[in-house]
Homo-oligomer: A and B are copies of this chain.
Amino acid sequence: MAQIRDVSKRAGVSPATVSRAFSDPSKLSKDTLKRVLKAAEELNYKPNSLAQVFRVKRTNTVLVLVPDIANVLFARVLSGIERIAAENNYLLLVSDTKDDIALERAGLEMVETLRADGIIQLGERPLGDLHTHPEPSKVPFVHAFDTPDAVPYPTVRINNVAAADAMASYLLALGHRRIGVLAGLKDRIVTRERLRGFRQALDSFGVPFEESLVEYGPYSMAGGAQSALRLLSRNRDLTALFTMSDEIAIGAVRTAMDLGLDLPANLSITGFDNIEFGKFCTPPLTTVMQPAERIGEVAMTLMCNLLAGETTGDAQQTLATELVIRSSAKRLAQA
């Protein structure tokens, strides 16, 4: 591979000039610039980015910490991040942390040891806090998607409480009163927030909340199927299921159908997230749309600003959600 010295010799200039030809062409005379570019072209010269990066101490790379790459939602967020990253000439290092705090720390270290300029973390971190440990850590950091609440760094999230409230209110407005809750993992912040929204809706409709009507479980189809089975066999009088994710909802639909229920006639079910599949399953899922790609885009944009040294303050972005009404939830038949 040709190096800067070769080019400089061929163009009859110093290496410094060649360097400038790429980094700030305006500094060169028209003539020299042309000569240098020609020489570079002829030698097929590409600056060794390792050397560059080493000298400049900026990798133009950001590390993304994902709890589970294979998860549809995270994948979509990632896709949004990637779009903005590409636009701004950033590379993406992706690490699947499997919710493992050790791996997250390793990530932090990667930045300190200069492999990346900043970190975007997805998903709430169940254990500890990356940032309280040594000191508020000067590593550029953005937290997106299911972020914890009041944190000292930029976040981008949705208002889970309001969204859940809206969804539950819709169910209540349809006349449902006996509503089961298929919640996610009990220790998750999102779970607590969405439950809060649900109760809030109940309150405003003057319907009492019953702890026995909520069933916790993993955010997955299998989890939803199991939770639904437990909840449904315990409570025969439920007319609707408020679930905390589309996957849970789809699992619940499966269970309900296997139980011989006619959906949505016998049981209304709502989801959360609006994954693509919800539109095509049977019955098409009424749910709340969460702008996953957009969350990624905003997160990466925030990171770009951060790295550009713009003081974004503690930009806590909250993105809008939207009820998407399909046909898995129907007005309660007058008994």
Which A residues have a C-beta under 8 Å from some C-beta of B?
Answer: 1, 46-51, 53-54, 57, 59, 61, 68-72, 75-76, 78-79, 82-83, 86, 91-96, 103, 109-110, 112-115, 221, 225, 250-251, 253-254, 257, 276-277, 279-282, 284, 293
Contact = CB atoms under 8 A, between A and B. Distances in A.
Contact of A51 (B54, B75, B86, B103): B54
21 contacts: A46-B112, A47-B113, A48-B113, A49-B110, A50-B50, A50-B57, A50-B114, A54-B54, A61-B93, A68-B79, A75-B75, A82-B94, A86-B96, A91-B110, A93-B94, A94-B94, A221-B276, A221-B279, A221-B280, A277-B281, A282-B282
Nearest to A263: B282
Contact of A115 (B50, B76, B83, B221): B50
Contacts of A50: 50, 53-54, 57, 59, 113-115
Contacts of A96: 79, 82-83, 86
Copies of this chain? 2
B113 A49 contact: yes
B91 A92 contact: no
Contacts of A48: 113-114
A114 B49 contact: yes
Contacts of A54: 50-51, 53-54
Given A70-B75, A86-B95, A93-B93, 15 more contacts: A48-B113, A48-B114, A49-B110, A50-B50, A53-B54, A54-B54, A69-B75, A69-B79, A70-B76, A70-B293, A79-B96, A86-B96, A92-B95, A251-B280, A254-B282
A245 B279 CA distance: 17
A219 to B, nearest CB: 13
A68 B75 CA distance: 9
Which of A50, A79, A112, A280 has the largest count of B CB atoms less than 10 A from its CB?
A: A280
Contacts of A1: 112
A58 B119 CA distance: 23
Contact of A221 (B53, B114, B277): B277
